Chain A
Amino acid sequence: MPFKKRIRVTVNGVRHERSVEPRLLLSDFLRHGLNLTGTHVGCEHGICGACTVLVDGRSVRACLTLAVQADNAGIRTIEGHGNAQSMSALQKTFKRCHGLQCGFCTPGFLATIEDMLNKYPLESEGRIRELLSGNLCRCTGYQNIVDAVLMARDERAQAEPVNRQVEKE
């Protein structure tokens, strides 16, 4: 029997306790262990960003993370952002701006952008494009994704004009 380690994780608010092989990737754990197949794997070597999820609020590549590293962490996957009837603000701007085509890269983009929106003021389109450059999309040419980020940023600024963390550089 291969060696297994017991881990506890909270995913989208639900607690799970599982025994996993130390080599099991977090992406495989989420997809095949917990059946949360919205997290996608596009390259399994850390370049495309399709597998990005939020671990304790930070965007993390699930294909470069071992499930055991997520022990005791709180994880948010795409399934935790909102459902078709009650989408998150960002999901809505993606829909309005046609920010997705095949949708394979989309869960990763949403996680990255949520993190960006929380951390940075995103003052310019150039800055947004730079921050998006760790996520690849082969379908959209990025323009509508950028527009969706701009719209989400402006909506947020209207909703909470003062309460915003300032970028430290």
Chain B
Amino acid sequence: MASGLKHVGARIERREDGRLLTGGGRFVDDLRIAGTLEVAFRRSDHAHARILDIDVSAARSCSGVVAVYTADDIEGDVRPIIAQSRMRNYHPTALQILAKEKVRFAGEAIAAVVAESRYLAEDAAARIEIEYEPLESLVDPLRSMAGDAPRLHENTPSNVVVERTFARGEVEQAFHNPPVAVRERFRFRRKAPAALENRTYLADYRGAEGFLTLYTSTQVPGIIRDALVDCLDIPGNRLRVVAPDVGGGFGGKTSLYIEEVLVSVLSRKLERPVKWTSDRLEDLTATSHGFDEIVDAQLALDDEGNFLGLRADVIGDVGAYSLFPFTAGIEPVQVASFLPGPYKIDTYQGRVRCVATSKTALGPYRGVGRPVSTFVMERLVDMAAKRLGLDPKALRLQNLVQPEDFPYKVASGIVWDRSGFTEGLASACDAIGYDALRSQQEQARREGRLIGIGMATYAELTGIGSRLSASPGMPFNTGTETAHICLDSTGGITAKFGVTSFGQGLETVLSQVVADELGVAIDDVTIVQGDTAAVAHSTGSYASRGAVMGTGAAMLACAALKERLLRVAGLMLNAPAEDVTFAQAAFSAPHSGREISLGELARTYYSRQGAIATDVKNELGELSASRMYDPEWGTTSSGTHIALVEVDPETCRVKVLKYLLAGDCGQLINPRIVEGQNHGGVAQGIGAALLEEVVFDEQGQNLTASFMDYVLPSAVEVPRMEQVHLDLKKPNTLGGVRGMGEGGTIGAPAAIANAVADALAPHGCEVTELPITPERIFRLLEGARHQN
């Protein structure tokens, strides 16, 4: 069991892979409980309509149908679910489990059929008749904000459900005749997180014990457990939420969904296991969407290129509901709060309004707010560089927060701890050979080719502790996580965590940390996660917190466990605990003349009667330790991405020729996993920049509700990437870890947008809207042609 090797920092192969590569994964839809019934929904065909009548009689008499439910049938079974926030000017909207009087987006669930199989449930759902009175569809957020627009929710004063302003410095003064100013309206179109595994929920209520187990494809089992305790009125010790293998999440699985609540309610009503598995149509219409903002922004500079001030007005299209727990504010508010990015900008004013529309709700999606804020800021910087005739790299270096400026408080209140802002930019440029690339571009341009180089520098706050909340004003604690580590009577080590994995490889990462702290081999550690029965309190994995929080909690718990083990070893070796050393899974003391293995210690302590004095055992109890870790403020990750692209003037297609990123994520626990996270994040960012867009027509119908129409990047569109890991002073988090799971999607859209703009520069075009599809490029080039 002993291991002299250090696991942290090593490119260790993943422990998850053995099962996932051989069909042994256990995703929720793979679980079997005898007698399980399946649910199919009847969903709204209208985006905004009053429900006049629902007729389920034909459905009820279909073969295999056990029951059909509408809102009236579950009245009283669920307490209202409302996402709260302490933000002023936040107007919460309650979730509807099944739509009662009104539907507010196309795809909202109205009735649920429970049957012996999904096939039969769908047959019956098709026979439900619903009569609607259509209301005005609120598709355009600008229209929805207007005073005469119909209100989507009766209990809010208008459709603006969140409003907030960040301000520091004399903004009016900065924008009064500045030597140089750039301003633009930017548009970042809506995305779908589109994890490959659709959401699936299986509830198993045991009436005799009054015990509910919910198996769910969620990123946040702890949050779901605590919420269901409240809304179902079941005590926490009779409600267990389990997230087994989860097939991707990216933010789309961090909210409490109505389907999750409903299967729980129905399992309790019917005293049978009840399951619902989303299909892709339901996923693209009823899983939270991401990134949908209009941003009017302007940047003022002096003649030397020093940033004087920044001003922005953000309008977020947040869809029909404020999702629990992160609220309708999470995405757009973060656009405004992160807009100044890694730059020194003392004067800033950012206003944000979140507007309810009759569309799928907006929620967190990988990067949350920062992909859009980085797109806007980095475009402004490039536009300013062009105006001033400066190189974009030089203008950035000059305005980034410099090494001596840390900790730096951003105008919106965020504090950056020391992170490699300038170092990241410099090493990215070195590694890709920036200057040589520019001369190649010159050459290519002379040949008439549309080649562009784009860069993006960003910073993000990760591993957020209890002094902040993961979503603005959210009134519960997301700042701690728990590890419980136990040595059992056979010498086995089990480490239980609250942080969960939805595919990132946390099981491997956490076992690396525990193995090192206890000096054992990685295979000697069993990791338990994704189960609320494992620890008393947890939330889950989101906001790039898993590695930071999990590592910290593991280190604290291991240290506490070691202290106990040393005391026991001291008794066995007849030496004071201070003199005992623990290395390579064995204990020894000077002059004791022998070593005790972990296994021997465990067996002696637990199983050899009389070996350890009764009073010591009464005091020490189990050889385990549980600790919570709270990084208090969190820590800053940063990076620079550089893309080289070519636009085909005939087809207007963009090809990414080269991609490189340099990042500072502190101590790398497993470089292989870090690189994989960046690969995946960048691919999503390239999708966001070039391909992906959720489109609604004027009636509020989602026109992109299949993978035929919502286009994910394939292996052809995603280039090979190079990566540089900065090796700088580690942050103050335990283990020196910074979170890094979201950087890819934060940097890539901006880098690609800048590269495409640079490619089109000879035609005088600017990129202000993403995705920059062939059609949009065609229009830009056409527009330029008509102007000349």
Contacts and interface: CB of A to CB of B under 8 A. Distances in A.
Interface string B1-40: 0000000000001101111111111010110100000000
A1 B559 CA distance: 64
Given A104-B503, A138-B684, 15 more contacts: A45-B707, A47-B706, A77-B23, A82-B22, A84-B22, A98-B672, A101-B676, A102-B20, A102-B197, A103-B25, A103-B245, A106-B20, A106-B21, A133-B716, A141-B679
A77 B679 CA distance: 28
B23 A142 contact: no
Contacts of A40: 27, 196-197, 247
B531 to A, nearest CB: 18
Given A42-B197, A47-B708, A96-B13, A129 B716 contact: yes
Contact of B721 (A38, A84, A128, A141): A141
Contacts of B721: 141, 143
A141 B196 contact: no
A62 to B, nearest CB: 13
Nearest to B672: A98
Given A47-B706, A94-B17, A87 B679 contact: no
A21 B676 CA distance: 42
Given A48-B196, A98-B673, A143-B679, A138 B248 contact: yes
A169 interface: no
B280 interface: yes
B23 A37 contact: yes
Contacts, number: 178
Nearest to B195: A138
Interface residues of A, number: 59
- From A47, A134, A138, residue with most partner B Cβ within 10 Å: A138
Contacts of B119: 21, 23-24
A82 B246 CA distance: 22
A94 B21 contact: yes
Contacts of B247: 40, 102-104
- Which interface class (under 10, 10 to 19, 20 to 34, 35 or more) fits B? 35 or more
Interface of A: 21, 23-24, 31, 35-45, 47-48, 50, 77-79, 81-84, 87, 91, 94-96, 98, 100-107, 110, 125, 128-130, 132-146
Contacts of B706: 43, 45, 47
Contacts of B280: 42-45, 48
A142 B683 contact: yes
10 contacts: A35-B32, A38-B24, A39-B23, A78-B22, A95-B21, A103-B503, A136-B712, A139-B248, A140-B680, A141-B679
Residue of B19, B25, B246, B682 contacting most chain A CB atoms (<10 Å): B25
B641 to A, nearest CB: 13
Contacts of B14: 95, 98
Given A84-B24, A142-B718, A102 B18 contact: no
B285 interface: no
Contacts of A133: 714-716
A84 B18 contact: yes
A141 B676 CA distance: 8
A45 B503 contact: no
B279 interface: yes
B23 A107 contact: yes
B495 interface: no
A137 B196 contact: yes
A81 B23 CA distance: 9
A104 B684 contact: no
B183 to A, nearest CB: 34
Contacts of B504: 101
A54 B137 CA distance: 46
Nearest to B30: A37
5 nearest A-B residue pairs (beta carbon): A38-B23, A102-B503, A103-B20, A104-B247, A141-B679
A146 B25 CA distance: 22
Contacts of B196: 40, 42, 48, 50, 102, 104-105, 136-139
Given A37-B23, A100-B20, A102-B248, A142 B676 contact: no
A24 B117 CA distance: 12
Interface string B706-725: 11100010111010110000
Main secondary structure of the interface of A (DSSP, over half): loop
Nearest to A50: B196
A146 B714 CA distance: 12
A129 B720 CA distance: 11
Contacts of A91: 21-22
Given A94-B17, A102-B246, A44 B279 contact: yes
Contacts of A130: 715-716
Given A37-B30, A138-B195, A139-B248, A101 B680 contact: yes
Contacts of A81: 22-23
Contacts of B16: 103
Contact of A141 (B32, B248, B680): B680
B502 interface: yes
Nearest to B502: A102
B32 A140 contact: no
Q: Which of A24, A98, A107 is the most central at the interface, judged by chain B CB atoms within 10 Å of its CB?
A: A98
Nearest to A149: B715
Among A39, A50, A143, max chain B CB count under 10 A is at A143
Nearest to A132: B715
B32 A79 contact: no
B253 to A, nearest CB: 11
A95 B672 CA distance: 11
B194 interface: yes
Contacts of A132: 714-715
A91 B21 CA distance: 6
A129 B683 CA distance: 14
A50 B505 CA distance: 20
Interface in B276-306: 279-280
A146 to B, nearest CB: 6
Contacts of B250: 138
A103 to B, nearest CB: 3
A42 B198 contact: yes
A95 B248 contact: no
Contacts of B13: 95-96, 98
Nearest to B197: A104
A141 to B, nearest CB: 3
Contacts of A106: 20-21
B715 A101 contact: no
Contacts of B29: 31, 37, 41
A48 B24 contact: no
A138 B712 contact: yes
A113 B754 CA distance: 35
A77 B720 CA distance: 30
B715 A142 contact: yes
Contact of B23 (A44, A78, A125): A78
